[in-house]
Amino acid sequence: MDETLAEFFRRTILKIPMTEMMTILKTWNFLSENQLQTVNFRQRKESIVQDLVLLLINIEYHATLRLNDAAHLDIIYTQFHRHQKIWDVFQMSKRPGDNIDLFDMEEFKSSFKKILQRALKNVTVSFRDAEENSVWIRIAWGTQYKKPNQYKPAYVVYYSQTPYAFTSSSQLKSNLPLLGQALTVASKHHQIVKMDLRSRYLDSLKAIVFKQYNQSFETHNSTTSLQERSFGLDINMDSRIIHENKVEKERVQRVTQEIFGDYPQPRLEFAQYKLETKFKSDLNRGILAEREEPLRCLVKFSSPHLLEALKSLAPAGIADAPLSPLLTCIPNKGRNYFKIRDK
């Protein structure tokens, strides 16, 4: 086996945490049960990895082990660890009046691969089908003269019945236009546009973009749980504690529920606002207020779970309800990067 291929296998398997090792190897489905049983999984991790790589080298005599299999393993690892990458969202559009073609997955894959290979001689493209008619594409970039770098691949998750694709932000930004072009042409669209939406949580991005987050089903259970919730509150409250502003508290709860709903919010880590506005001040006109040019400033909100944090601001008393529409429009508008200018 090629030295570099063996090394690539070794490094990919080494990345996998021990708790997930068996699950990932079984999902990969390249090594059979019998072959896996020959490896002693009770050793230290380095020894296990060594044994696995030796096993793969021995297998090569019976079947050709290709780079594609290693790439598959890499895709599976990334699918299990999708939170380690930051995902951008792209939206494609057809020309108005274009025929709606039937989508063929195999045609898309071969077209996509051909476009990339025609442009860059050295590029490794691998595919893995996933749920909901989506495909995970792994691309290792090379140039006309260099072999592809297998350790810095880009990932694209394309949902075939939709105009949306999610890409992991790759370090090699120069290949992004080519990637966009390949996606657009292969999926028979006309244009591709990058949305101002970015997050680590692919599932949340999916929920926002496909508007799946606000499905709260009205069932008998949900109404009883609401009663239990308020009942529980009463039990905890001592009768000697009296809330003066009960009416106001209920108003805040109601407004928050109207804006954010009862359902769990999709998970984002930050929202960024680029302000280019003139300085406004109620106080005496100072130096800043006399500036003609707009002030440039960047406001970034970060949180382990931004939307839940925003939802709890008003009930906690840290902000007034209703919150600024700039904050509450994030899932509706599907963006967390904003540019604000004076009208």
Partner 1 sequence: MSVLRPLDRLPGLNTATILLVGTEDALLQQLADSMLKEDCTSELKVHLARSLPLPCSVNRPRIDLIVFVVNLHSKHSLQSVEESLCHLDAAFFLGKVAFLATGAGRDSHCSIHRNTVVKLAHTYRSPLLFCDLEIEDFRAAMAQRLVRLLQICAGHVPGVSALNLLSLLRGSENPSLEDL
Closest distance between partner 1 and the C-beta of residue 251, in Å?
A: 11
Out of 247, 283, 287, 298, name the contact with partner 1 by CB under 8 A. 247
Q: Does 100 bind partner 1 (CB under 8 A)?
A: no
CA distance 125 to 67: 10
CA distance 54 to 34: 15
Q: Mark the segment that binds partner 1 (CB under 8 A) among 10-18, 193-201, 237-245, 331-339.
A: 237-245
CA angle 8–11–13, rounded 5-degree value: 105
Neighbours of 288 (CB within 10 A): 11
Q: Does 243 bind partner 1 (CB under 8 A)?
A: yes
Phi/psi at 62 (5° precision): -95, -30
Q: Does 253 bind partner 1 (CB under 8 A)?
A: no
Closest distance between partner 1 and the C-beta of residue 325, in Å?
A: 19
Closest distance between partner 1 and the C-beta of residue 186, in Å?
A: 51
Q: Does 282 bind partner 1 (CB under 8 A)?
A: no
Whether the Cβ atoms of residue 208 and residue 334 lie closer than 8 Å to each other: yes
Out of 62, 240, 280, 296, name the contact with partner 1 by CB under 8 A. 240
Q: Does 317 bind partner 1 (CB under 8 A)?
A: yes
Give the side-chain half-sphere CA count within 13 A for 158. 25
Closest distance between partner 1 and the C-beta of residue 282, in Å?
A: 13
For 72-92, letters b (16+ CB in 10 Å) and e give bbbbbbbbeebeebebbbbbb
Out of 211, 249, 251, 254, name the contact with partner 1 by CB under 8 A. 249
Closest distance between partner 1 and the C-beta of residue 311, in Å?
A: 15
CA distance 183 to 185: 6
- In the complex with partner 1, the residue whose CB is nearer, 190 or 249, is 249
Residues 6+ apart with CB under 8 A from 54: none
Out of 100, 242, 287, 298, name the contact with partner 1 by CB under 8 A. 242
Q: How far is CA 274 from CA 122, 267, 294, 306, in A?
A: 39, 21, 12, 18
Closest distance between partner 1 and the C-beta of residue 226, in Å?
A: 20
CA angle 190–194–199, rounded 5-degree value: 140
Q: Mark the segment that binds partner 1 (CB under 8 A) among 8-16, 56-64, 147-155, 312-320.
A: 312-320
Closest distance between partner 1 and the C-beta of residue 239, in Å?
A: 9
Residues 6+ apart with CB under 8 A from 153: 71, 74, 124, 138, 139, 140, 141, 170
Q: Does 193 bind partner 1 (CB under 8 A)?
A: no
Out of 104, 132, 248, 258, name the contact with partner 1 by CB under 8 A. 248
Q: Does 238 bind partner 1 (CB under 8 A)?
A: yes
Q: Does 324 bind partner 1 (CB under 8 A)?
A: no
Out of 319, 321, 323, 340, name the contact with partner 1 by CB under 8 A. 319
| CA torsion, ordered 72, 74, 77, 81, to nearest 10 deg | -130
End-to-end CA distance of the chain: 64
Q: Does 229 bind partner 1 (CB under 8 A)?
A: no
Whether the Cβ atoms of residue 35 and residue 51 lie closer than 8 Å to each other: no
Q: Mark the segment that binds partner 1 (CB under 8 A) among 112-120, 201-209, 213-221, 314-322.
A: 314-322
Residues at the contact surface with partner 1, assessed by CB under 8 A? 238, 240-245, 247-249, 315-320
